[in-house]
Structure 1
């Protein structure tokens, strides 16, 4: 295996290499201008760390114009934070309190804005640097000059130095899956609709290809060390598409023969919608009109099937077609969200505006924030822990009067992970890495002596290694490499030899101790426990939504919109907990495939509720009367929802995993009931069919919850 192949295995798309290489080029240049031309150590320090923040710790996505605007916006935010940090730095209690408030605000703002979520470290670094280094207000212009120099250089760098590609690996897999499922649906109905193709061999070949593509999609998403996803609205829509495409693949595989012409038209409409969605994803500036037209045709085909009494003998194929059509419609809607989100302005991205535009520009931001103001929100936990950890680090640095106090805070930020165990492991790695860096840096300083030329030559490769090592080697290697960079950098500014390494080790050790203490006190069990709770809430709220949707349809119950919103909020918290769980270091107590099945089960349960609500919102009797079929459906809805509530209790270790319900209990008599009642029973039966596949994963999660 060559070095490039080895690197690609650890750095998907070479994104880390791109950031590290840019920084290795730009940082020595801006530092050289500040130190050698301007001859101001403060400007040099802020330009160097500014280049780290603006180039190594953030990499905006989207069109180049949006990236430039985001980079400039980050620079302007840094101006505010540097000024604030400098003003509050002389007063210890004010510095501690402000650090807590600013850190919480920056971390929690990531719930609302993906732009802010991706720039958390880059935003905090200038504030930490300024608030940890007390100085008079007169120092603000020099500090801002260094930051401004780094900002200007970073804008030029992202435009001309290896610009980031627009496409990401997950997007390509999703496009491929849409095409493959569309081919399978089209081949299955080609004969019935007098279209070319559709032979048995072609159907089998397209089915095998679709299964292989879905398998590859799930493998890339769940089993790679660095998952191909980001934090933007479009990226989150793509994450949902992974679950929805997997669900659609399962529905198609279990659907049986396509049946009469009506259901075949629905399947063909689903195939067209998937293909148009894939093409819209392929072309970032494409027109969504074709996708809208395909969705209208799909809905028309599904509605026509609902109203044909002659299809009573073929209700099973027509229900399968309706189920496939609804799932394909949900996928197409998410594709539209992903496409439209990329066309938002920077202001809309910062405010968390959603492409639907429902409720005004701030409605989506309020909804996302409200979803995470819950005791079990991973994002809320991370925000509180980060605020407490950095505030305590500032206090410890002030009370101990250490040199370079910002290293204490940076050390706390670097090693603070989502649970105490991983924080402790990372703290050990940080100290050992710094120790190795001291030995290596001290040896280099001894070799360099007073010769600064050798130090300037060494600086770019040292920065490159420091940028690459945490991602492609290990966290400890990154700490060692960063320590070497600091040796070189500070010995260029003020040659004090190996003493800079001892100071670095002391400060990092203090920061590690703070992080470990905060992790133990505030969240000792990490994202694994939080994911269990988030899964339980998602199942419980989705079950309540399903029950309310059935009551709404068959018994003229209340509008289930409130239950739908609660289920959506719980699903968001589950998604964020799952993302954190996937990025945690260390072995996972529950196999990733089993955990993904539980996450996918929530998707299937919510889709069943959405389908029931969609079915009855178009045609609902005002006073239907509780016939035997309607009463049986209402009962079955309660039983199935109750089963999922029991599953939710088991996931938190407070009950045993229930046995799956027997088949057929939810289905009315197809010869006597109306199609909508039969299809409602079919959606309930789809929710019941999920149950056997959730038993084993749920038992494994329940075992970890009660351990």
Structure 2
């Protein structure tokens, strides 16, 4: 067994011990201590639902906190399920509505998504006959006891070491940015190899794929959104510091050298203040987030006479660095202080800062309430399958019908290929488990003491081996476990194993049908569609921003409609990418395209457009004059570059779109300094926009590189093979 395999078994064994202790203690307490089969059943399945069936990310203490907060929701589900079980049609209707709601709650982040299957089971269990509202008290007592025992087990049994919070990762990145700014502010005005490597490592540490699920800022609230933007701003600041060129030689070529060095020192101080704020140090006396705003304004207002193109381009790059530092400080303030920091941050960039939590959750839900959202697709698929399973179980009076629903819940996948594979393995495992169970029940008969003795070892083995070995082993071992449980609740014969096989067969068939009918290709196709739509929205934003800068100037700093469309496209693309990473069986195709680079290009377009459209800094002109239009020569050069960026975005979107058949020739990769034709005499606004568009081309080159690699490596017809550099684009994985 390799190191990874041993680690997987060790982690599974820890989780298995916790769920076994919690479920077994509650089951034996009520069954043999108080003689209540109802409370015993609910105590056992409550612990199993949120520890065995669910995969709540985080350490034991983090999961314990999550389970504790879910107890009121568990009460509500048990109560509603108990009373809706009065008729089959009410139970089916409840399953349709509540099943959708519990599946759709995954839009709230990894923790709600991980808990959703367990909550589904807590509702499934009481929604079956007999209709017995008189036992509601026992059901609630058993549920509460099982969940409280699970909380204690998660918190105190073999606790894992704590993981680094995302705030600490962002604080470390800010400290690294301070180090970079310090080196760039003194001779030789360049980063040392060690500092450059540290900057790259700090930026990589903030990538969601490198952060434990429980630490990712994926919530809908102001603090969570602010923390997510803090990480993005920190990565942006580190990247810009790493690409900042040194001052051109000769004092006459860079008349603003002192102002530039003062700005870099201010960026370093701001980064240090941000790190202290993220680590819990008292904030500044003034409510405004600290940042190099004054130094940025001084550099922007400095005269440009005598400055050469290299100096003007460096000035634009320095202003980009200062902007990233300001964004980092503002985002960190929102992450730490929430809405208290809202009056001091720009509303366009941080559109959510002044909204209350219910409104933000409504925005999150409405942003995913459509057929293009994979969260919506999963919720519809799950609720329809569960409602159908409940209808079949109720109309045919299927014995242990909730087993069929459990099979539907656990075996339905987001792609038909994965569903077919899981069903095949599950049926084989269930059949083997049923044969073993039938033999045990035939030999032991009604001697419940034997079942009680072997239950805990079998349960421990089930939840240790099953998650590591796969669905086949899980179904085989779980079949034996549930048979041992029900053999203690009521006299059982070998036919109990037969019923278990029948239930799994019915449940898996229903899951297969709805997996085929409802979006059977999962997120792999949807992420391509969402990524293509994101790039099209970004191209539209680039064109409108360039037109405003080159033709009319900008007098209204409100968010243009194109930017709102881009923001909505970002929401859908991020949700599709999150779902893609969680789909089993898609490892070969899901990472061929650098989807995170697609998302970063969208964010960079949105934030950069807002930045270059911002009013001039103090000292450059009256605020009500807005951003003045460029001179004809500069406008023509910027228009060409904007068209080139937008065209490249559209070309890449055509490659990524799963329904695109065009085979356009790829645009040439961008070479630094080759975009603009204006040199001496161009205004500073030109260089700011040029720096933004040039960095967007660099982002697009990273996307193009990732799509070109699979075209060369994958065989013809392989999934998700595309190419946009050095060859003809493919069809986007059709």
- Partner Cα separation in structure 2 for residue 39 and residue 258 of structure 1: 82
For residue 137 of structure 1, what is the aligned residue in structure 2? Answer: 133
For residue 654 of structure 2, what is the aligned residue in structure 1? Answer: 649
Matches within 5 A, 1:5-20: 6-8=5-7, 14=11, 18-20=14-16
Q: Is the Cα contact below 8 Å between 1:615 and 1:676 reproduced in 2? A: no
- Partner Cα separation in structure 2 for residue 123 and residue 656 of structure 1: 47
- Alpha-carbon spacing, 1:601–1:439, altered in 2? closer, same or farther (3 Å): farther
Output one character per residue of 1:42-65: Cα deviation in whole Å (capped at 9) or x when no partner. 22111111122344436486997x
Q: 2:533 aligned to 530, 537, 559, which one?
A: 537
Q: 2:259 aligned to 255, 262, 281, which one?
A: 262
- Partner Cα separation in structure 2 for residue 447 and residue 292 of structure 1: 75
Is 2:38 the partner of 1:42? Answer: yes
Q: Is the Cα contact below 8 Å between 2:670 and 2:701 reproduced in 1? A: no
Is 2:310 the partner of 1:302? Answer: no
How far did residue 461 of structure 1 move? 3.5
How far did residue 434 of structure 1 move? 2.1
Output one character per residue of 1:155-186: Cα deviation in whole Å (capped at 9) or x when no partner. 44455445676534766655554444443332
For residue 408 of structure 2, what is the aligned residue in structure 1? Answer: 412
Say which SS state the counterpart of residue 515 (structure 1) adopts: helix
Q: Is the Cα contact below 8 Å between 2:64 and 2:150 reproduced in 1? A: no
Q: Is the Cα contact below 8 Å between 2:267 and 2:322 reproduced in 1? A: yes
Which one is further off, 31-40 or 366-375?
366-375
- Partner Cα separation in structure 2 for residue 489 and residue 238 of structure 1: 45
How far did residue 38 of structure 1 move? 1.9
How far did residue 404 of structure 1 move? 0.7
Q: Is the Cα contact below 8 Å between 1:423 and 1:519 reproduced in 2? A: yes
- Partner Cα separation in structure 2 for residue 684 and residue 261 of structure 1: 27
Output one character per residue of 1:359-381: Cα deviation in whole Å (capped at 9) or x when no partner. 33322122212211233111111
Is 2:553 the partner of 1:556? Answer: yes
Q: Is the Cα contact below 8 Å between 1:262 and 1:318 reproduced in 2? A: no
For residue 589 of structure 1, what is the aligned residue in structure 2? Answer: 589
- Partner Cα separation in structure 2 for residue 250 and residue 317 of structure 1: 15
- Partner Cα separation in structure 1 for residue 384 and residue 497 of structure 2: 27
For residue 349 of structure 1, what is the aligned residue in structure 2? Answer: none
For residue 315 of structure 2, what is the aligned residue in structure 1? Answer: 318
- Alpha-carbon spacing, 1:448–1:535, altered in 2? closer, same or farther (3 Å): same
Is 2:732 the partner of 1:705? Answer: yes
Unmatched tracts of structure 2, length 5 or more: 249-256, 342-349, 709-720, 723-728
Matches within 5 A, 1:325-404: 325-339=322-336, 357-404=353-400
Q: Is the Cα contact below 8 Å between 2:124 and 2:405 reproduced in 1? A: yes
Q: Is the Cα contact below 8 Å between 2:217 and 2:228 reproduced in 1? A: no
Is 2:633 the partner of 1:621? Answer: no
Q: Is the Cα contact below 8 Å between 1:637 and 1:666 reproduced in 2? A: no
- Partner Cα separation in structure 2 for residue 552 and residue 450 of structure 1: 82
- Partner Cα separation in structure 2 for residue 280 and residue 442 of structure 1: 62
How far did residue 337 of structure 1 move? 4.6
Q: Is the Cα contact below 8 Å between 1:553 and 1:616 reproduced in 2? A: no
- Partner Cα separation in structure 2 for residue 341 and residue 469 of structure 1: 43
- Partner Cα separation in structure 2 for residue 624 and residue 423 of structure 1: 58
Q: Is the Cα contact below 8 Å between 1:63 and 1:166 reproduced in 2? A: no
How far did residue 409 of structure 1 move? 1.0
How far did residue 286 of structure 1 move? 4.4
- Partner Cα separation in structure 1 for residue 579 and residue 402 of structure 2: 27
- Alpha-carbon spacing, 1:168–1:477, altered in 2? closer, same or farther (3 Å): farther
Output one character per residue of 1:656-676: Cα deviation in whole Å (capped at 9) or x when no partner. 454147665764735323322
- Alpha-carbon spacing, 1:183–1:451, altered in 2? closer, same or farther (3 Å): farther
Q: Is the Cα contact below 8 Å between 2:663 and 2:730 reproduced in 1? A: no
- Partner Cα separation in structure 1 for residue 25 and residue 138 of structure 2: 18
How far did residue 29 of structure 1 move? 0.9
How far did residue 482 of structure 1 move? 2.0
- Partner Cα separation in structure 2 for residue 297 and residue 216 of structure 1: 24
- Alpha-carbon spacing, 1:564–1:7, altered in 2? closer, same or farther (3 Å): farther
- Partner Cα separation in structure 2 for residue 578 and residue 562 of structure 1: 24
Is 2:97 the partner of 1:101? Answer: yes
- Partner Cα separation in structure 2 for residue 600 and residue 149 of structure 1: 46
For residue 516 of structure 1, what is the aligned residue in structure 2? Answer: 512
How far did residue 336 of structure 1 move? 4.4
Matches within 5 A, 1:82-121: 82-112=78-108, 116-121=112-117
Is 2:638 the partner of 1:633? Answer: yes
- Alpha-carbon spacing, 1:665–1:213, altered in 2? closer, same or farther (3 Å): closer
For residue 350 of structure 1, what is the aligned residue in structure 2? Answer: none
For residue 79 of structure 1, what is the aligned residue in structure 2? Answer: 75
How far did residue 41 of structure 1 move? 1.5
Structure with higher helix content: 1
Unmatched tracts of structure 1, length 5 or more: 193-197, 345-353
For residue 697 of structure 2, what is the aligned residue in structure 1? Answer: 688
Q: Is the Cα contact below 8 Å between 2:408 and 2:508 reproduced in 1? A: yes
- Alpha-carbon spacing, 1:411–1:269, altered in 2? closer, same or farther (3 Å): farther
Say which SS state the counterpart of residue 705 (structure 1) adopts: coil
- Partner Cα separation in structure 1 for residue 610 and residue 516 of structure 2: 41
What do you get for the CA RMSD once the two structures are aligned?
A: 3.8
Q: Is the Cα contact below 8 Å between 2:57 and 2:214 reproduced in 1? A: no
Normalising by structure 2, report the TM-score: 0.81
Q: Is the Cα contact below 8 Å between 1:536 and 1:651 reproduced in 2? A: yes
- Partner Cα separation in structure 2 for residue 436 and residue 444 of structure 1: 13
Say which SS state the counterpart of residue 76 (structure 2) adopts: helix
- Partner Cα separation in structure 1 for residue 441 and residue 294 of structure 2: 75
